[in-house]
Structure 1
């Protein structure tokens, strides 16, 4: 797939910059190129979030000091991750029914590759990835809506399978949210966003809500379900399901030793299989 002029300039600058500094061309250089060659949809959304060319370059220089001087590929060449990011960029453009890949698709590719150097730079700058993702799709207009719908369908459109223990011992909060069965959540926006941020991490992504009964722990989870249904979450969470486990129901009816443990094991296995 061909690239727009803005994206091609960003790619060319990334390679020029890395060559000038005796480095292999990585995703961090593409992020720098996007900020250098603006204005464009991608660079504008990043700028609005607080990203600047100077900040990105500063982090790249710090990375050079901290990393091993022995590059995994010959200098003046693209890293495998850089090539993969360009392939992802083209794939995203195709998902949006576009004939050319632009800077907005490159930014989306970076956001969908959280373990890339470019994404780690954004994290180090304490950028709200969720806000960047949603603001970028808004800036893309109908194209952004198309991408969100395709992404949601890909996450949630798998063929239905039977999960007897999940069906018997859990309640699907996302289904209740879709049917309008959940009460509106007021005053918990900060906590809900914090849970979304933790779930979107590459590591240490297990949020734990602690508090006395009645303080609103369940309300926060219901709010998360509402956000997933409204597609106001990062791409990693689109199409995911929130299930509540009925422990008392799992204990009820168990007569023999190990029966409860077997039910727990089955629920975990079915949840893993269901994705």
Structure 2
């Protein structure tokens, strides 16, 4: 199930658009998300920045000095940077890794710090607010609350690493429309049942439904056998064996096409075939246990979503 956002997080995301308009920027970047978080901290004593005793006025001044313009911007023309979209996905990933039922403002802070090729993370780092330190503080704070309340909150162990993917190239940081063909508004984007699988994999059935796959010729027997094995109640894990380039992926694409066309047994109707990119899972796992955390997060999603076939 998609995670619910707290009022604090929703306010921070809403304020980020208003901050972009106020500063004459026609885009929402990580720095605007941070400004939105700072603005929310002024009216919420439980805001993560207040708990960290961050020098919010100094952070705000440093950011505004670098991005403020004298231009007047139409709010409907403000766009969303790719890095901001990535941060928004990271919010939900952080919440799931920490076993939280709702995404909160501290998940936003962690997501901003994780995207370390940004003005926002640079300014925070100058104030000695870094990802690992903030993560440790948050876990300690949650354990303290659990101890004081005696019940209600789950006890959260300190997780040193994250399932988050490595940073993308800056050239991908192109804006997309706030309202239009490519982007939804910040407060609604990223609501997926499988955010980790979406990050590290490709939904082949979605590509098939959008007519992005080529027709498969001469593999009917293999595809039929694949569908037959997957339809079993037990021993339903087929193995495709062959040298690179012989067409193993093509067989899976053929299965996805048949699922979309409803040319399979009823058991496979509405199944999602997701191709896992092992290279992206391994990439960026600099710290011990980070790879295991990613695998664990994916297994949790697979356990909660029985309609996924993993390739």
TM-score (norm 1): 0.47
TM-score (norm 2): 0.42
Structure having the larger proportion of residues in helix? 1
